[in-house]
Chains A and B, each alone.
Chain A
Amino acid sequence: DTGVSQNPRHKITKRGQNVTFRCDPISEHNRLYWYRQTLGQGPEFLTYFQNEAQLEKSRLLSDRFSAERPKGSFSTLEIQRTEQGDSAMYLCASSLATSPQGRTEAFFGQGTRLTVV
Protein backbone atom coordinates (compact mmCIF):
# COMPACT_ATOMS: atom_id res chain seq x y z
CA ASP A 1 0.00 0.00 0.00
CA THR A 2 1.48 3.33 -1.03
CA GLY A 3 -0.68 5.47 1.21
CA VAL A 4 -2.96 8.33 0.22
CA SER A 5 -2.13 9.66 -3.22
CA GLN A 6 -3.11 13.07 -4.57
CA ASN A 7 -2.81 14.39 -8.10
CA PRO A 8 -1.66 16.74 -9.35
CA ARG A 9 0.86 17.91 -6.77
CA HIS A 10 0.81 21.44 -8.13
CA LYS A 11 -1.69 23.32 -10.25
CA ILE A 12 -1.45 26.85 -11.58
CA THR A 13 -4.58 28.19 -13.17
CA LYS A 14 -5.98 31.48 -14.37
CA ARG A 15 -8.78 33.11 -12.46
CA GLY A 16 -12.13 31.95 -13.75
CA GLN A 17 -10.96 28.53 -14.91
CA ASN A 18 -12.21 25.24 -13.50
CA VAL A 19 -9.85 22.80 -11.81
CA THR A 20 -10.23 19.23 -10.60
CA PHE A 21 -8.11 17.36 -8.08
CA ARG A 22 -8.01 13.66 -7.44
CA CYS A 23 -7.43 11.70 -4.26
CA ASP A 24 -6.81 7.96 -4.04
CA PRO A 25 -7.23 6.81 -0.44
CA ILE A 26 -5.72 3.78 1.23
CA SER A 27 -7.60 0.93 -0.38
CA GLU A 28 -9.50 -0.47 2.61
CA HIS A 29 -10.41 2.93 4.08
CA ASN A 30 -14.08 3.78 3.94
CA ARG A 31 -13.81 7.42 5.04
CA LEU A 32 -12.31 10.17 2.98
CA TYR A 33 -11.80 13.80 3.98
CA TRP A 34 -10.88 16.99 2.16
CA TYR A 35 -9.16 19.83 3.97
CA ARG A 36 -7.86 23.19 2.82
CA GLN A 37 -4.66 24.71 4.19
CA THR A 38 -3.62 28.28 3.52
CA LEU A 39 -0.19 29.67 4.26
CA GLY A 40 0.49 29.96 7.97
CA GLN A 41 -2.71 28.19 8.95
CA GLY A 42 -3.73 24.74 9.98
CA PRO A 43 -5.88 22.58 7.72
CA GLU A 44 -9.59 23.39 7.71
CA PHE A 45 -12.25 20.76 7.14
CA LEU A 46 -14.14 20.97 3.86
CA THR A 47 -16.10 17.76 3.46
CA TYR A 48 -16.10 14.04 4.11
CA PHE A 49 -17.40 10.81 2.63
CA GLN A 50 -18.35 7.51 4.15
CA ASN A 51 -18.00 5.15 1.22
CA GLU A 52 -19.71 6.96 -1.66
CA ALA A 53 -22.01 9.12 0.48
CA GLN A 54 -21.04 12.72 1.16
CA LEU A 55 -22.15 13.12 4.75
CA GLU A 56 -21.02 16.60 5.73
CA LYS A 57 -19.94 19.78 4.03
CA SER A 58 -18.35 22.76 5.74
CA ARG A 59 -19.73 26.23 5.17
CA LEU A 60 -16.29 26.92 3.68
CA LEU A 61 -17.38 24.82 0.71
CA SER A 62 -19.12 27.37 -1.48
CA ASP A 63 -21.36 26.50 -4.41
CA ARG A 64 -18.33 26.65 -6.69
CA PHE A 65 -16.89 23.59 -4.96
CA SER A 66 -18.11 20.08 -5.57
CA ALA A 67 -16.74 16.77 -4.42
CA GLU A 68 -17.57 13.25 -5.47
CA ARG A 69 -16.53 9.77 -4.52
CA PRO A 70 -18.01 7.40 -7.08
CA LYS A 71 -18.21 3.79 -5.94
CA GLY A 72 -16.54 4.70 -2.67
CA SER A 73 -13.05 4.58 -4.11
CA PHE A 74 -11.15 7.64 -5.32
CA SER A 75 -12.53 11.13 -4.85
CA THR A 76 -12.44 14.29 -6.92
CA LEU A 77 -12.70 17.88 -5.78
CA GLU A 78 -13.71 20.38 -8.44
CA ILE A 79 -13.53 24.14 -8.14
CA GLN A 80 -15.45 26.12 -10.73
CA ARG A 81 -14.70 29.72 -11.70
CA THR A 82 -11.60 29.84 -9.55
CA GLU A 83 -10.77 32.96 -7.57
CA GLN A 84 -7.47 34.13 -6.16
CA GLY A 85 -8.77 33.36 -2.69
CA ASP A 86 -8.94 29.69 -3.65
CA SER A 87 -5.15 29.53 -3.71
CA ALA A 88 -4.22 27.01 -1.03
CA MET A 89 -3.01 23.50 -0.37
CA TYR A 90 -5.85 20.97 -0.68
CA LEU A 91 -5.29 17.94 1.50
CA CYS A 92 -6.99 14.59 1.34
CA ALA A 93 -7.08 12.12 4.21
CA SER A 94 -8.58 8.69 4.68
CA SER A 95 -9.41 6.47 7.62
CA LEU A 96 -11.22 3.25 8.45
CA ALA A 97 -14.32 3.41 10.57
CA THR A 98 -15.76 0.08 11.66
CA SER A 99 -17.96 1.54 14.40
CA PRO A 100 -18.51 5.00 15.93
CA GLN A 101 -15.52 4.53 18.19
CA GLY A 102 -13.68 1.89 16.17
CA ARG A 103 -11.66 4.22 14.01
CA THR A 104 -8.15 4.19 12.72
CA GLU A 105 -6.30 7.42 12.54
CA ALA A 106 -6.47 9.64 9.50
CA PHE A 107 -3.67 9.26 6.97
CA PHE A 108 -2.94 12.28 4.82
CA GLY A 109 -1.79 12.69 1.26
CA GLN A 110 0.89 15.15 0.20
CA GLY A 111 -1.69 17.61 -1.01
CA THR A 112 -2.35 19.55 -4.18
CA ARG A 113 -1.05 23.11 -4.14
CA LEU A 114 -3.32 25.39 -6.15
CA THR A 115 -2.19 28.80 -7.32
CA VAL A 116 -4.76 31.02 -8.99
CA VAL A 117 -3.24 33.87 -11.01
Chain B
Amino acid sequence: AQTVTQSQPEMSVQEAETVTLSCTYDTSESDYYLFWYKQPPSRQMILVIRQEAYKQQNATENRFSVNFQKAAKSFSLKISDSQLGDAAMYFCAYRSYTGANSKLTFGKGITLSVRP
Protein backbone atom coordinates (compact mmCIF):
# COMPACT_ATOMS: atom_id res chain seq x y z
CA ALA B 1 0.00 0.00 0.00
CA GLN B 2 1.08 3.52 -0.68
CA THR B 3 1.64 6.05 2.08
CA VAL B 4 2.06 9.81 2.00
CA THR B 5 3.80 11.70 4.80
CA GLN B 6 3.64 15.39 5.55
CA SER B 7 5.68 15.92 8.68
CA GLN B 8 5.20 19.68 9.10
CA PRO B 9 1.77 20.38 10.62
CA GLU B 10 2.03 24.16 10.25
CA MET B 11 4.02 26.74 8.39
CA SER B 12 3.94 30.51 8.15
CA VAL B 13 5.19 32.83 5.44
CA GLN B 14 5.37 36.58 4.99
CA GLU B 15 3.28 37.97 2.17
CA ALA B 16 5.31 38.20 -1.07
CA GLU B 17 7.91 35.73 0.23
CA THR B 18 8.52 32.15 -0.86
CA VAL B 19 7.63 29.04 1.11
CA THR B 20 8.26 25.34 0.52
CA LEU B 21 5.98 22.60 1.79
CA SER B 22 7.46 19.11 2.13
CA CYS B 23 6.01 15.72 1.27
CA THR B 24 7.45 12.23 1.10
CA TYR B 25 5.73 9.09 -0.06
CA ASP B 26 6.30 5.39 -0.22
CA THR B 27 5.33 3.11 -3.08
CA SER B 28 6.56 0.07 -4.94
CA GLU B 29 5.03 1.28 -8.19
CA SER B 30 7.07 2.91 -10.92
CA ASP B 31 4.30 4.89 -12.55
CA TYR B 32 2.01 7.15 -10.59
CA TYR B 33 0.75 10.68 -10.16
CA LEU B 34 1.42 13.11 -7.34
CA PHE B 35 -0.74 16.08 -6.48
CA TRP B 36 -0.94 19.05 -4.22
CA TYR B 37 -4.45 20.06 -3.19
CA LYS B 38 -5.46 23.24 -1.39
CA GLN B 39 -8.34 23.30 1.09
CA PRO B 40 -9.31 26.83 2.22
CA PRO B 41 -11.35 27.11 5.42
CA SER B 42 -14.94 25.94 4.83
CA ARG B 43 -14.38 25.61 1.11
CA GLN B 44 -13.85 22.70 -1.18
CA MET B 45 -10.55 21.14 -1.98
CA ILE B 46 -9.04 22.31 -5.26
CA LEU B 47 -6.16 20.97 -7.29
CA VAL B 48 -3.04 23.14 -7.20
CA ILE B 49 -0.58 21.14 -9.26
CA ARG B 50 0.02 17.65 -10.60
CA GLN B 51 3.15 15.68 -11.48
CA GLU B 52 3.42 12.50 -13.52
CA ALA B 53 6.16 10.24 -12.17
CA TYR B 54 7.44 9.37 -15.64
CA LYS B 55 8.18 13.03 -16.38
CA GLN B 56 11.57 14.28 -15.26
CA GLN B 57 10.62 17.91 -15.63
CA ASN B 58 9.13 19.49 -12.54
CA ALA B 59 5.60 20.80 -12.95
CA THR B 60 4.87 24.52 -12.63
CA GLU B 61 1.61 26.44 -12.46
CA ASN B 62 2.11 30.18 -12.25
CA ARG B 63 3.44 30.87 -8.71
CA PHE B 64 3.38 27.18 -7.78
CA SER B 65 6.11 24.73 -8.64
CA VAL B 66 7.24 21.34 -7.40
CA ASN B 67 10.56 19.69 -6.70
CA PHE B 68 10.02 16.04 -7.60
CA GLN B 69 12.80 13.69 -6.53
CA LYS B 70 11.69 10.22 -7.63
CA ALA B 71 14.61 8.29 -6.18
CA ALA B 72 14.20 9.99 -2.83
CA LYS B 73 10.38 9.74 -3.06
CA SER B 74 10.11 13.40 -2.25
CA PHE B 75 7.59 15.88 -3.65
CA SER B 76 7.75 19.42 -2.29
CA LEU B 77 5.63 22.41 -3.26
CA LYS B 78 7.12 25.87 -3.64
CA ILE B 79 4.85 28.89 -3.49
CA SER B 80 6.46 32.06 -4.75
CA ASP B 81 5.25 35.61 -4.07
CA SER B 82 2.88 34.34 -1.37
CA GLN B 83 -0.51 36.00 -1.21
CA LEU B 84 -3.06 36.24 1.59
CA GLY B 85 -5.36 34.00 -0.43
CA ASP B 86 -2.80 31.21 -0.28
CA ALA B 87 -3.62 30.65 3.39
CA ALA B 88 -5.18 27.19 3.60
CA MET B 89 -4.51 23.55 4.36
CA TYR B 90 -2.37 21.90 1.71
CA PHE B 91 -2.51 18.18 1.08
CA CYS B 92 -0.06 16.06 -0.82
CA ALA B 93 -1.71 13.11 -2.56
CA TYR B 94 -0.75 10.01 -4.53
CA ARG B 95 -2.61 8.17 -7.24
CA SER B 96 -1.66 5.00 -9.06
CA TYR B 97 -1.13 5.30 -12.80
CA THR B 98 -2.67 1.96 -13.66
CA GLY B 99 -5.60 0.11 -12.21
CA ALA B 100 -9.27 0.75 -12.36
CA ASN B 101 -9.50 2.70 -9.15
CA SER B 102 -8.11 6.18 -9.33
CA LYS B 103 -8.54 6.86 -5.64
CA LEU B 104 -6.26 9.35 -3.96
CA THR B 105 -4.10 8.64 -0.93
CA PHE B 106 -3.56 11.82 1.08
CA GLY B 107 -1.06 13.00 3.63
CA LYS B 108 -2.21 14.60 6.89
CA GLY B 109 -1.89 18.07 5.44
CA ILE B 110 -0.12 21.23 6.45
CA THR B 111 -1.73 24.48 7.56
CA LEU B 112 -0.17 27.47 5.83
CA SER B 113 -0.68 30.93 7.23
CA VAL B 114 0.34 34.09 5.39
CA ARG B 115 1.39 37.14 7.40
CA PRO B 116 0.48 40.53 5.90
Contacts and interface: CB of A to CB of B under 8 A. Distances in A.
B97 A101 contact: yes
Given A43-B91, A45-B103, A105 B47 contact: yes
- Contact size range, B: 20 to 34
B103 A100 contact: no
A105 B43 contact: no
Interface stretch (B58-66, B75-83, B104-112): B104-112
Main secondary structure of the interface of B (DSSP, over half): loop
B102 A103 contact: yes
B44 A40 contact: no
B47 to A, nearest CB: 5
B46 interface: yes
B98 interface: yes
Interface stretch (A12-20, A68-76, A80-88, A107-115): A107-115
Interface of B: 4, 6, 9, 35, 37, 42-47, 50, 91, 93, 97-109
- Of all A-B residue pairs in the complex, the 9 with the closest CB atoms, nearest first, are A42-B106, A108-B45, A45-B103, A110-B44, A108-B44, A43-B106, A42-B91, A42-B109, A42-B108
